[in-house]
C-alpha cells in the first residue's frame, strides 16, 4: 500500500494564500476537501493518506464537518475504493471539534501523534476492543481473533470486516495452509494502518 503524507499547513498555504492557520468555515473547508478528494480519486490502487495538522490553529465545527466528516463518510461508502485516512498531530481543541462532527454522523477516524494512536468519533466498544488487538499485534486473522476472544469464527470475521469497511484497518489476502501444507483457499489478514 502506498502512503502519502499531506501537510495541512502546506495545503492551506497553497490553496488559500492568506497565511491563516485557522481552519474555519465551510467555504475554506470545501477547497481543502476537494484537494484531498482529488488525490483520493486519481490515485490507483491502495492508498493511505496521513493528514498532518502540525503548525495549524483552531478548527471550527463547520470546517471539521465539511472536510473530515464528509471524507470519512465517502470512504466508508466506498466512493474511493481502497483508500484510508489517518489524522496526525491534532491538538486537543482540534480533536474535540472533529470528534463532535464525526459523532453526530456516527463516524470514526484513527488519529496518531506523540502520545500514540486513538479513535475519535463514534465506534462500538466491541469494535474498539478488536481494533486494539489489531493495533497491538500489527496484524490479525479472524481465526486468531476467534481463539483469543473465545468467540465464533463468524463473529470475529464480522468484527474485522466492519473495521475494514470503516477504513480503520487494512485487509490483505493471504494463503491459508492445511494440515498437509497444501493450499486450502484464501484467508484475509487484517493489518494496522500504522504498520
pTM value is 0.91
pLDDT at 35: 94
As a whole number, mean pLDDT of residues 156-173 equals 96
How far apart (Å, rounded) are the C-alpha atoms in residues 13 and 132? 36
Which of 93, 122, 151 is a domain's end point?
122
pLDDT at 180: 42
| Domain count within the chain | 2
Q: Which residues contact 187 (CB under 8 A, 6 or more apart)?
A: 141, 142, 143, 173, 174, 175, 176
pLDDT at 15: 84
Q: Is the pLDDT of residue 143 over 60?
A: yes
* DSSP secondary structure string for all residues of 82-114: SEEEEEES--HHHHHHHHHHHHHTT-EEEEEET
Residues 95 and 120 sit within 8 Å (Cβ to Cβ): yes
Residues 121 and 102 sit within 8 Å (Cβ to Cβ): yes
Give me the chain's average pLDDT, please.
91
pLDDT digits (tens, 9 = 90+) for 30-80: 999 999 999 999 988 899 999 999 999 999 999 999 999 999 999 999 999
> Is 104 in the same domain as 153?
no
Residue 178's pLDDT band, with cuts at 50, 70 and 90, is very low
Residues 54 and 17 sit within 8 Å (Cβ to Cβ): no
> Is 106 in the same domain as 159?
no
As a whole number, mean pLDDT of residues 145-156 equals 94
CATH number of the domain at 183, please. Answer: 1.10.10.10
Which of 100, 122, 144 is a domain's end point?
122
> Is 32 in the same domain as 89?
yes
> Is 20 in the same domain as 111?
yes
> Is 118 in the same domain as 139?
no
> Is 67 in the same domain as 108?
yes
Give residue 16's domain range.
1-122
Amino acid at each position: 500500500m502506498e502512503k502519502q503524507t499531506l501537510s495541512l499547513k502546506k495545503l492551506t498555504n497553497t490553496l488559500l494564500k492568506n497565511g491563516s492557520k485557522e481552519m474555519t468555515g465551510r467555504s475554506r473547508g470545501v477547497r481543502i476537501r476537494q484537494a484531498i478528494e482529488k488525490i483520493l480519486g486519481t490515485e490507483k490502487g491502495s492508498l493511505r493518506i496521513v493528514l498532518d495538522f502540525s503548525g495549524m490553529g483552531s478548527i471550527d465545527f463547520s470546517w471539521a464537518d465539511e472536510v473530515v466528516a464528509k471524507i470519512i463518510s465517502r470512504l466508508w461508502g466506498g466512493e474511493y475504493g481502497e483508500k484510508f485516512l489517518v489524522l496526525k498531530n491534532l491538538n486537543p481543541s482540534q480533536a474535540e471539534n472533529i470528534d463532535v462532527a464525526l459523532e453526530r454522523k456516527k463516524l470514526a477516524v484513527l488519529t496518531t501523534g506523540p502520545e500514540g494512536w486513538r479513535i475519535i468519533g463514534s465506534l462500538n466498544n466491541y469494535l474498539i476492543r478488536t481494533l486494539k488487538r489489531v493495533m497491538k499485534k500489527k496484524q490479525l486473522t479472524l481465526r486468531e481473533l476467534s481463539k483469543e476472544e473465545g468467540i465464533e469464527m463468524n463473529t470475529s470475521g464480522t468484527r474485522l470486516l466492519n473495521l475494514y469497511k470503516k477504513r480503520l484497518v487494512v485487509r490483505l489476502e493471504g494463503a491459508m495452509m492445511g494440515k498437509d501444507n497444501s493450499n486450502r483457499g484464501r484467508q484475509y489478514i487484517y493489518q494496522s494502518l500504522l504498520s
